[in-house]
Amino acid sequence: EWLLAEHVHGNHAPANAAHAKPAQPLYLTCQARMEPYYVRFGFRTLQAEEMPPYFRRLFRLARFVQRISPKMGEMRVMCKST
């Protein structure tokens, strides 16, 4: 499993930041099967057009890799607003 939580300005936050109330939107990436877990904490799944450029690139790269290696599973980009 993997988790990346990042504030909009690019500062990496620890995984437990999912429980904090950020002053700015907090973005995370996770495997699709973890989506319901983060929804409980106020995160919502973003569509590609809603993602900041960094996460859009990461999402596209993950989709490409997933086509080559389906065992990787799908990636979600999620956001928690203040």
pLDDT at 5: 54
Alpha-carbon distances of 4 from 1, 28, 50, 77, rounded to whole Å: 10, 5, 18, 10
Amino acid at 34: M
Average pLDDT along the chain: 81
pLDDT (tens digit per residue) in 34-55: 999 999 999 999 999 999 999 9
